[in-house]
Each structure stands twice: as structure tokens, then as C-alpha cells.
Structure 1
Amino acid sequence: SDPKATGIGTHSAQALSHLACAPDLGVVTVFRRNPPPMSYKAQLKGVQQFLDKSDGRDKLLATVQYVAMFISAGQPGDVKKVQASVAAARKVFRIMRPLESLNPIIQNPTLNSNRPLVLELLAKLKSVLMAIYFGGDNIVWASQAGILQNKTLILRAQKASLYGWAGGSVIGVITELHELQGLTARRVGEVEEVYQARLEKNGAEITRHLLLLVHSLVQALLAVGLLELRPWKPRTVGMLGIIASALNCYMLFPALPAPAKASTKSFAKVA
């Protein structure tokens, strides 16, 4: 019937069209289709927590650095100066990072018998390589600050830093491939239903390792480009840097509270 003829307004008629009635129970349930969006305060709090981390600020600046590299395409100019300036500014955040990288070995120098020996050795080696990466970067920073003047030492430290980064990233690729293989491989005697249920249960963990795998792979390629081991153009290297830095920012960003779910209200149906 016509809503106007029955004395029901158009908006009221539309609202009634979203009512789900349960005749047996005599209950009407109203579904709110659009839950309220996440509070901007929660989003700002997440940004603040991200920027509170020195690593977060470092990776954000890294994104700016590689965006500038991509735009400048290696050509001299203002954008190239921005790239160099931001790259120099990032190095301050890496002071004492070599010690942080070596901390797992210092705290636990023994090998974990519950994990494969190769993976344990690779984990220790990765810590050493990342310490070399940060240590070499600290030497470059000292030269930029005017503390060191030995150009030969600076060039060697810069190369050692990038090689350490490349090696650590390659180890990351190997480790994540092993973790994914363990999570997704079908076990002996495992039927299809159980296998699919296990994959579903480990879905979040599989996604996390996939993300880490992609990140490590892109970082390794970026290090290859920065070392000029391949004849890649500056824009190619810049794009790899943007992807690696964006992934870093994503992984460092704190988890935001989930938005409120659609609410339902029930009330007794009037006869």
C-alpha cells in the first residue's frame, strides 16, 4: 500500500523495510547497517605511537628518501639534495643499533636444540651481519659529522654496511621460506579436511610470514641496487626503496582498535 495513504512517512517506510521479524518468537530485530567509523583520535594515537619509535621515524624518512630518489632519477638538483639530506638525517637514529643487533647473541649465545641447526646458525649470522650494517652506517655518519676524515675507511665501511644488509636480507628470505614450508606443508597421514582446517587456523601466521618474505626479498634487491651490482636505473632502485620502506612502516605501525560491529536491537512485536 501507499506509505502516505497509511499515514507512514517515506523514511519510516524505508526503515521498516530493514526490520527482520521473527513471527514464532514475536520479536522484531533492527539491524544497523553502517557501524560508526573508527574514531580519528584512535588513528592519531596510532600515528603518535608509530612516531614515538626511533625505528618508525627512520623508516618514514626512508620512504621520503627513496621517493626523492625516484623523482630525481639520479639527476642533480633540489630533489637530489633532499634525498642526500634525508639520508644523512636517518643515520642519527641508528646510533647504538649494532649493539641492539648483537643483543640476541649476547643474551643467548647457545644454540636452541628445538630448532634446526642450520636455522639457528643463520639466525646468529644474521645478527652479526645486521651489526655490520649498522656499524658501517655509524662510521659513515661519523664522517658526515666531521669526526672521521679517512675516505678509504669511509668507502669500505659504506660497502660493508650494504653487503651486511644484503646478507641479512637473504637470510631473512631463507628463514621465512622455511617457516612457510612448515606451516603449509601437508603432514603425513593428514586428511584434506584437517589440512584445510589447519591452514585456516594458521592463516594470520602464514600472512605474516608472507609479508616478511616479500619484505626481505625487496630489501635484498634494494641492497643489490645500491651496491650497483646490477645496472639498474636510479628510479628502479628508488621504487624498490619505496616498497621496502612502506612495508617497514606498515609492519611497525601499531594495531588500531577494530571498528565497532554492526549492532542489533530487539524488541517485542506489538500485536
Structure 2
Amino acid sequence: MGVQQFLDKSDGRDKLLATVQYVAMFISAGQPGDVKKVQASVAAARKVFRIMRPLESLNPIIQNPTLNSNRPLVLELLAKLKSVLMAIYFGGDNIVWASQAGILQNKTLILRAQKASLYGWAGGSVIGVITELHELQGLTARRVGEVEEVYQARLEKNGAEITRHLLLLVHSLVQALLAVGLLELRPWKPRTVGMLGIIASALNCYMLFPALPAPAKASTKSFAKVA
């Protein structure tokens, strides 16, 4: 049931195909051949799922253009900047798809759109790293005058939330490194970039996968201790 729910989501199918794409990149090691062709064809197929994503990325700004006074100003500005950068990422990807579909023929525009897309992704991922570090600092920092027992109890209570933000931090960091590799800003081999892509895509699939049913009441207490 969970697998079906995952595959029903366009984003879920996109991330599953992303995993296949980067596995093919890792296996081919950048060398021409059938596996390289699989990588290219899967990468092209993914773009169909992203046609409306630029608007989706800008939706938080469209719905709420004002700044939220309940959050630090810097974080609020970074959140809005991330929305813009991710819209650039998906918008550039749409232009590349249009070229593959034969709608656009301007090679200069296509190359610039591809680079802008990856830079937008890298920037959005870096902002994600900064945001998650701030969230983790707020959840794990000891408050003034807080005794050890209270501090440990608060950490245990926030355990699931801390784990979630740690996962998001690792995911954002890997995505930023993947974008750097795809932009060829570092002399990494295709297999290194492919491995980063596999990790990022696998984390995406994990986070998109529907949550399992909660454990029975009798085991809730012991489960909380493990978490």
C-alpha cells in the first residue's frame, strides 16, 4: 500500500527515476555506451514531472508575500530567496525540456538555462543547510538556567524532530555537493557525482515514502526510548 501511495505521487516517480539515472551514471562512469544512453533517456523522462514546479516553488511567496514577524528576519529572507532559487532551478529545467521536445532550438539559451538551473539548485540547497543548522541549534541548545534532567527530557521529547532536521541537513548538504559536481566546479569523476546523486535520490525517496502505521500503545514507550 505504501509503495502504491509513493508511486501515485509525481514527485515520488521523479525521485525514483532520479535514483535510476544516477545509478546509470555511476555504472557508466561517464563512458559512452548503452548505460550512458539509459542515463540520458531517464534524465529526459524526469523533466515531464517538473513542468509546473516553478509555480509551485514560488507559491509560498505568492500566498504570503509579507515577512513573518514570528521568525528571525534573516531566516525569513533566506526562505523567500530559496523559493526564488528553486523556481530558477525548475524553470531552467523546463527550458531544457522544451529544447529536448523540439520547441526551442537556441543552443546558447539552453546552455545558460541549464547552468542557471544547477546554480539555483546549489543555492537553494546551501540555504537548506543554513536553515536546518539553525533549527537544530534551537532544538538542542541548552537554555539559560536549565538543569541537566530538564535538558535531557527536552531532548528526548524533541527526538523525532531532531532526527527529521538532521536528515534534512544531510540531504541539503549532499544536494549542494551534487550540484557542484554537475556544474563541474570540482574535478570529481562521474562515479563520485553518480554516488552523490544516488544518496540524494535515496534520501528523497525515503522522505517521500508514506509513514508506517504507529506502533501499538503497549510498545509506544519502548519505541520512544529507542528513538
Both structures adopt the same fold (TM-score exceeding 0.5): yes
How much does 1:165 deviate?
A: 0.1
Unaligned runs of 5+ in 1: 1-45
Q: Within 1, Cα distance between the matches of 2:205 and 2:223?
A: 47
The SS at the match of 1:110 is coil
SS at match of 1:149: coil
Deviates more, 1:249-258 or 1:88-97: 249-258
Q: In the aligned structure 1, how far is the partner of 2:40 from the partner of 2:169?
A: 29
Match of 2:158 in 1: 202
C-alpha change, 1:110 and 1:76, in structure 2 (3 Å) is: same
State the shift of 1:256 in Å: 1.8
CA pair 190-90 structure 1, distance change in 2 beyond 3 A? same
Aligned to 2:136: 180
Q: Tell me which stretches of 4 or more aligned residues in structure 1 moved more than 4 Å.
A: 258-271
Residues 59 and 264 (structure 1), Cα distance of their counterparts in 2 relative to 1, 3 Å cut: closer
Q: Distance in 1 between matches of 2:206 and 2:49?
A: 19
Instruction: Output one character per residue of 1:139-196: Cα deviation in whole Å (capped at 9) or x when no partner.
Output: 0000000000000000000000000000000000000000000000000000000000
Structure 1 residue corresponding to 2:15, chosen from 31, 52, 59: 59
Q: Deviations over 1:8-29 (max 9, x none)?
A: xxxxxxxxxxxxxxxxxxxxxx
Secondary structure of 2:222 counterpart: strand
Q: Deviations over 1:89-134 (max 9, x none)?
A: 0000000100000000000000000100000000000000000000
User: 1:182 and 1:76, CA in 2 relative to 1: closer, same or farther beyond 3 A?
Assistant: same
Tell me, which stretches of 5 or more residues in structure 2 are unaligned?
Answer: none
Deviations 1:212-253 (A, max 9, x none): 000000000000000000000000000000000000000000
Tell me, in whole angstroms, the C-alpha distance in 1 between the residues paired with 2:223 and 2:206.
44
**Residues 266 and 113 (structure 1), Cα distance of their counterparts in 2 relative to 1, 3 Å cut:** closer
C-alpha RMSD of the superposition: 5.6
Change over 3 Å in CA distance of 1:82–1:264 after alignment to 2: closer
1: distance between equivalents of 2:149 and 2:187?
A: 49
User: Do the aligned partners of residues 112 and 264 (structure 1) sit closer, same or farther apart at CA in structure 2, a change above 3 Å counting?
Assistant: closer
C-alpha distance 123-239 of structure 1, shift in aligned 2 (>3 A): same
Deviation, 1:259, is: 6.0
Describe the shift of the 1:189–1:270 C-alpha distance in structure 2 as closer, same or farther (beyond 3 A): closer
The separation in 2 between residues aligned to 1:66 and 1:73, in whole angstroms, is: 10
Inter-partner Cα distance in structure 2 for 1:101 and 1:165: 12
Which residue of structure 2 aligns with residue 96 of structure 1? 52
Distance 1:244 1:268 in 2: 28
Higher strand share: 1
- Matches of 1:240 and 1:108, distance apart in 2: 34
- With normalisation by structure 2, the TM-score equals 0.94
**Structure with the bigger percentage of helix:** 2
SS in 2 for 1:265: helix
